[in-house]
Amino acid sequence: MGHFDEDALAAAAAELSGRGIDVVRLGYPDFIGTERGRDVLVANFARTLGDGVAFCRTVYGTSPMGDVVELGAGGLADGLPDVVAFPDLATLTDVPWEPGVAHCLADVFDPDGTPAPESPRQVLRQVLARFAELGMRPVVGPELEFYVLEPDAAGGWRRYGEAPGNVYVSGSKGDPENLLLRSLRSLADYGLDVVTANHEFCSGQFEINLWHSAALDAADRAFRFKTAVKELARREGKLATFMAKPFNDEGGSGFHLHFSTVDDDGRPLFDDPAGEYGLSKVAHAAIAGILAHAPALSALANPTVNSAKRFGPDTLAPWLIDWGLDNRSAMIRIPPERGRASRLELRQGDATANPYLVTAGLLAAAYLGIQDGLAAPAPLEGYGYDPAKAPKLPADLGASLDALEADTAFAELLGPRFVTAFLAYKRNELERFSRYVTDWEFREYAYHL
């Protein structure tokens, strides 16, 4: 593995020290989008990071419960070898709620210097390289919903600010402690380019939108956003969760992605005043590609056992593989703006999705549509929950994983070794869940059977 540029590290350390920063938090995403990393003293910055920071490769195969999952090459059978994390110094930014601390995203490599194929950031970079070959630069705008919970008397968690009907409100009516406003300001100071925040449909549910930007930057900001929201809630004795559907009696949390692309000169490629619906052939082909590969994409956009429980009629979460013009019941919504604002909104994803992987999946599907010159079907008319109009999305995680494995063109863009490891990780999740006795089973069967 090559040595990192010592001059760049020394210059960064001097600049950080001059601003009173003595610790850099080096972080990167695992498969599920949890941040893994290490705090590094700036006084030892160049020495510590010059050869990268080693991590056991099974960080990618560690479950939320701390189990180590065999992912194939580089796992348990190979003696738990290392990967090496190097800072992306362009991403250094101060953490406003932790004085003296800066955050830096890391890129993860194999010891031989090649990018680690399991790295979600690398998976997205691979897809972006294919767009670059077409002279296209994807632009993405993330929208994320989440719940805030507070401790209850039984030692569990209840929804924060419980009250009915606080849909799209702001202020203390839906946020009695002004938690959202404080979070919005902290996130803005963190450089995440957040733009709006509001209470969502359900008690304790909120949405914060991020401005659009180049796809990798948008995924970086969404990744940091999720980590930051959870950290800010913890500091106030609360729990922020991006779980797809944490409650039976309330709706789920989505991860909507607005997507367009520009050429190398910055000209929008989805807009065409003479095209059908004011959209270009590139836009129609991208829509068609996303529809064609939606079952495989669901493995990345809806990646947990809980994810499919967010779907269904009257949920405002998509159920069918369809698209519509300014229709929020469709999987792909085309907002009414045209010109530079011409874009599509993928409403399929839920908030558990890893920002890098769901973005890579969206772009991979769109790329295949553009490459193959696919034609989109007619858009949805009316309410999008009639299965006679369009096929359904996969009904559960197992079906999504099978679709990902079967979609060889899609999997090839993401990287075969990544897909093999991801499938192993997620099928282990299904296996563990299949053996777990749930509260529903006890309630359903214990008294009568």
| pLDDT tens-digit map of 292-333 | 999 999 999 999 999 999 988 878 888 899 999 999 889 999
- To the nearest 10°, the Cα dihedral for 109, 111, 117, 118? -80
Q: Has residue 319 been placed in a domain?
A: yes
CB atoms within 10 A of CB 163: 13
In the block, residue with structure tokens 């039984």: 154
Residues 73, 132 within the same domain: no
- Which among 94, 69, 82 is positioned nearest to 12, based on CA atoms? 94
pLDDT tens-digit map of 364-376: 999 999 999 999 9
CATH code at position 330? 3.30.590.10
Are both 111 and 256 inside the same structural domain? Answer: no
- As given in the structure block, the two tokens for residue 25 are 């938090």
d(CA 389, CA 406): 24
Residue 2 has pLDDT above 70, yes or no: no
Residue 159 lies in a domain: no
The domain boundary, picked from 63, 98, 116, lies at: 116
CA distances from residue 391 to 154, 321, 368, 381, 447 in whole angstroms, order as listed: 43, 6, 20, 15, 39
Token representation of residue 133: 């070959």
Query: Is 194 part of a structural domain of the chain?
Result: no
Domain housing 323: 126-146+208-214+251-435
Same domain, yes or no, for 138 and 20? no
Shared domain check, 16 and 51: yes
pLDDT in tens, 103-143: 999 999 998 889 999 999 999 999 999 999 999 999 999 99
SS3 191: coil
Whether 293 and 311 share a structural domain: yes
Q: 237 pLDDT exceeds 60?
A: yes
Question: Is 11 in the same domain as 141?
Answer: no
Average pLDDT over residues 331-338: 93
The verdict on 276 and 362 lying in the same domain is yes
Q: How many domains does the chain have?
A: 2
Residue environment code for 267-287, b if the CB has 16+ CB neighbours within 10 A, otherwise e: ebbbbbeebeebbbebbbbbb
- The alpha carbon of 241 is separated from its chain's Cα centroid by a whole number of angstroms, namely 14
CB 340 within 8 A of CB 407: no
Of 116, 137, 171, the position where a domain reaches its end is 116
Identify the band that residue 4 occupies on the pLDDT scale cut at 50, 70 and 90.
Answer: low
Statement: residue 290 has pLDDT above 90: yes
